[in-house]
Amino acid sequence: MIREIVIYGIAILRIKGKRVEIFDAKLRALADDMLETMYQANGIGLAAQQVGEALQLTVIDVSQAEARPSQMWIDGAEVDPKEHMPLVLVNPEIQFGQEIEIGSEGCLSFPDIIGDIPRAAKISVKARDLDGKSIEFEAAGLLARAVQHEADHLNGILFIDRMSSALKSSLAGKLKRLASESG
């Protein structure tokens, strides 16, 4: 089922998601809804808060982003990220590499807003899948960026929080308008 995407200005986007303890059909149905909603909106990631649920759950699929490559490693061996999409990450934990990369990002909760955001170029991710099984991988490129963006959502952090103050003030009018329309 396609859900309505929560737009900036609604309080749930600022709420830290609860850890998932029960891996049941309800969780799977929510993840299915999130994937359907993300694909319909042509997004590459969606967090539970964006469909109105404050939970540590996010879905990601970078396989259609041909112009922005991703790299992925499992047990130290490089794999084809496309073969591991979509990713459903429950209770994700990230370790950040030291190198920082600046790249452009948008967000389905911020229609028509794009900005350069600094992120770790490479990350290690530990999470659970929908069966509660452990998932571990390393990521770089767009996948690393997407995971960091979504993991931020799960903690109530938005990409505007990571923009330079100059960029954020140049977007102030647009942000104010968004918040007043959604609220």
Using CB under 5 A as the criterion, what x/- string covers residues 33-72 for binding Zn ion? ----------------------------------------
136 a catalytic residue: no
Which residue has 């997004």 as its token pair?
43
Between 122 and 149, name the residue whose CB sits nearer to Zn ion: 149
Between 80 and 183, name the residue whose CB sits nearer to Zn ion: 183
State how far the Cα of 156 lies from the Cα of 10, in Å rounded to an integer: 12
CB of 134 to Zn ion, least distance (A): 25
* Residue 107 lies near Zn ion (rule: CB under 5 A): yes
For 145, other C-beta atoms within 10 Å of its C-beta total 25
Which residue has 């990521």 as its token pair?
139
- Name the catalytic one among 53, 105, 138, 150: 150
Buried b (16+ CB within 10 A) or exposed e, 94-112: beebeeeeeeebbbbbbee
Between 2 and 74, name the residue whose CB sits nearer to Zn ion: 2
Q: Are 49 and 15 in contact (CB under 8 A)?
A: yes
* Residue 151 lies near Zn ion (rule: CB under 5 A): no
Stretch binding Zn ion (CB under 5 A), from 3-11, 25-33, 99-107, 127-135: 99-107
Q: Which residue, judged by CB position, is nearest to Zn ion in the bound state?
A: 107
Catalytic residue IDs:
150
